[in-house]
Amino acid sequence: MLQTLQETLSRLAALDPAVIAIAGLSLRVSFSAVGLGTLLGVPLGALVAVSQFPGRRLVVGLLNAAMGLPPVVIGLVLYLILSRSGPFGGLGLLFTPSAMIAAQTVLVVPLIAALTRQIVADAQDYLGEQLSSLGLNGAQRAAILIFDTRFSLVTALLAAFGRAISEIGAVLVVGGNIDGHTRTMTTAISLETQKGDLPLALALGVVLIAVVIAVSAVASLLRSYAMRAYG
């Protein structure tokens, strides 16, 4: 056990290129997925919050339920869509980082949309009538409420990032865990544990936790600074 920890620390201290490459790919995939998820999920959640339409309760229920979608099932569905015989097989995306980004985007969009809906709905309780009174339409109200709740939405995006970077099922199925190509921190930890290379698995685990803490800390600092500056 002690020897394993020593080896882990020496790998981290030496900035093992394999660890750096795997961590880099993980970050690229998860940041891209959260970026795309933000573009899709935030407006979707805000529009659901400010709109009244038949079946709205059902949509809200589906969004909330979709937050718990099993990653491996998302991976399986995307695998079928992207496989050679699937509707998008011709794109040749299966077992590429792009497929992994797509899978994680599908994973985080419901989470971002559902949390955004709740945050914007709460803001609408105290600002909604005022904005309606100003003669703003639904899209304008949604945009303003997103702007007003931007500091709270950071928390939703952090939750999405945490879900994306820590999942294994979806990226394993559509990425294939190919060494040097689609291997992420979570798939590598699983593989190295099975192979018995515990120092590498532990080193990756430490990097994964450090990355999550660092991203959260930077986001919190930016949020605090912005709140001080803009109220």
Partner 1 sequence: MSAALPLVIDGLCYRAGNMPILNGVDVAVTAPGITAIIGANGAGKTVLLRLIDGLLAPTSGTISIGVSAHPRPSTAFVFQRPGLIRASAAANVSLALAPLKLSRRERHDRVRAALHHVGLAEKAGAPATRLSGGEQQRLALARAWATAPDLLLLDEPTANLDPASSHAIEHLVVSMAEAGTKVVLVSHNLGQVMRLAEDVVVLAAGLAVEHGPVRSTLSSPHSPQARAYLAGEMPWTAFAALP
Question: Residues 150-189: x/- map of binding to partner 1 (CB under 8 A)?
Answer: xx--------------------------------------
Interacting span for partner 1 (CB under 8 A) from 106-114, 129-137, 162-170, 181-189: 129-137
Q: Which residue has the tokens 């099922």?
A: 169
Return d(Cα 121, Cα 164) in angstroms, integer.
25
Does 4 engage in binding with partner 1 (CB under 8 A)?
A: no
Nearer to partner 1, 10 or 130 (CB): 130
Please pick, from the candidates 20, 73, 134, 213, the single residue that binds partner 1 as defined by CB under 8 A.
134
Residue ranges in 210-229 that form contacts with partner 1 under rule CB under 8 A? 229
Q: Are 160 and 37 in contact (CB under 8 A)?
A: yes
Nearer to partner 1, 7 or 148 (CB): 148
Please pick, from the candidates 55, 68, 90, 135, the single residue that binds partner 1 as defined by CB under 8 A.
135
Interacting span for partner 1 (CB under 8 A) from 22-30, 54-62, 128-136, 206-214: 128-136
Please pick, from the candidates 101, 103, 120, 144, the single residue that binds partner 1 as defined by CB under 8 A.
144
Instruction: Count interface residues toward partner 1 (CB under 8 A).
Output: 19
Q: Which amino acid is at 37?
A: G
Burial 17-47 (b: 16+ CB within 10 A, else e): ebbeebbebbbebbbbbbebbbebbbbbbbb
Applying CB under 8 A, which residues contact partner 1?
Answer: 126-127, 129-136, 140, 144, 147-148, 150-151, 229-231
